[in-house]
């Protein structure tokens, strides 16, 4: 019985030593791809930015609805439309941010998670915005196959509405002055 117990213990110990695959890491080739993606975003190099995605990649920002997935090209166009309102933008680099982490899940899928604070200045009024962003990037064959991004654009939308309202007030005042 003692030998059987020791044999069982040895098998368990051997199996535990064989399963040394990391499930979480802060350094990997996939994380380097995610960092390059953000570098290209900062530079506004949309051609280079798109090269980090697989040909069949789908991107989901603020939704998991499969019918609302976009291509990298469509996402780049949406991002450019937002950034056209900015005089500057970047992800802050302070303390532990941005934070990158790679996970290999139980199904063998590789995901890189990104957390960061996006900071931008509106060109129209120099108002600074700070928006927390989370990205989950699923990798296949060294490319991003799926991206899920979550961030709250309500402050950005409200700021644009304020700019538009101020513009309309100015136009109305000018019209009143001309008619007087």
| Residue 18 pLDDT greater than 60, yes or no | no
Region label for 139, one of left (φ > 0), alpha (ψ between -120 and 50) or beta (otherwise): beta
Secondary structure of residue 66 in the 3-state scheme: helix
| Residue 4 pLDDT greater than 80, yes or no | no
Mean pLDDT of the chain: 88
pLDDT single digits (tens) 116-140 = 999 999 999 999 999 999 999 999 9
- For the entire predicted model, the pTM comes to 0.80
pLDDT at 163: 86
Under DSSP, the state recorded for 80 is H
What is the percent of the chain with per-residue pLDDT over 70, rounded to a whole number? Answer: 82
Neighbours of 123 (CB within 10 A): 14
CA distance 143 to 166: 44
pLDDT single digits (tens) 26-82 = 899 999 999 999 999 999 999 999 999 999 999 999 999 999 999 999 999 999 999
Cα–Cα separations (whole angstroms), residue 171 to 95, 127, 145, 168 = 45, 21, 47, 5
């Amino acid at each position: 019985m003692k030998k059987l117990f020791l044999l069982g213990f040895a098998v368990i110990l051997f199996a535990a030593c064989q399963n040394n695959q990391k499930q979480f890491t802060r350094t990997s080739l996939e994380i380097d791809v995610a960092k390059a993606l953000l570098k290209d975003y900062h530079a506004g190099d949309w051609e280079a930015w798109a090269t980090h995605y697989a040909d069949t990649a789908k991107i989901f920002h603020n939704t998991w609805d499969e019918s609302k997935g976009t291509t990298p090209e469509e996402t780049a166009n949406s991002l450019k439309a937002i950034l056209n309102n900015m005089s500057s933008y970047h992800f802050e680099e302070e303390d532990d941010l941005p934070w990158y982490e790679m996970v290999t899940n139980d199904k063998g899928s590789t995901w890189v998670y990104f957390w960061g604070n996006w900071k931008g200045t509106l060109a129209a009024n120099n108002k600074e915005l700070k928006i927390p962003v989370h990205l989950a990037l699923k990798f296949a064959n060294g490319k991003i196959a799926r991206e899920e991004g979550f961030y709250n654009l309500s402050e950005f939308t409200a700021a644009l509405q304020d700019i538009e309202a101020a513009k309309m007030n100015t136009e109305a005042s000018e019209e009143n002055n001309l008619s007087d």
